[in-house]
Amino acid sequence: MQSFPVRHGFEPGRNVVALSTEESHKTTDALVELTPIPSDLTTMYWVIDEVSLPDVDSGYFIHPASTVAGHFREYGDIQIDGEEPALVFASDGGGHLFALSGSGRVWRSTTASWSGQFDLAAATLQEFLEGLAQRINCQL
């Protein structure tokens, strides 16, 4: 991070990966009861509560289960042609949404909208997270 200000012209923000807590486990359990959450997302939430990376590209944010539940109550799931319903779990700094479908695929909105088109972003949640790790490494 010492080279960050020289390379980017500003100080880095607060980039955080928050590990799960007993409270976030309860929130994840409540989300599981609310909606058919993909199992990979449940597994992730048992380890990671939330991710905030404002300095990686335009920013990446994995929402905590409580936010995902609130969004699900307000907007429902994402319908993608030919795909099982998807649950929004993340966003980027441009307002694009990332949704994980029951098939395990990760989809990215083409606009900052819940009702717009979604394109395939990664074949699995693991691939999505590995791609995010590569972006982090490029920023260092």
pLDDT tens by residue, 27-80:
999 999 998 888 999 999 999 999 999 888 889 999 999 999 999 999 999 999
Please, are residues 56 and 139 in contact by the beta-carbon 8 Å criterion? yes
Give CA–CA dist 13/113, Å, rounded.
26
Compute the average pLDDT of residues 115-128: 96
> Is residue 1's pLDDT more than 80?
no
For residue 3, the model assigns a pLDDT of 58
For residue 10, the model assigns a pLDDT of 52
For residue 74, the model assigns a pLDDT of 95
For residue 12, the model assigns a pLDDT of 57
Q: Quote the mean pLDDT of the chain.
A: 89
- The CA distances from residue 16 to 49, 55, 79, 121, in Å, are 11, 11, 30, 23
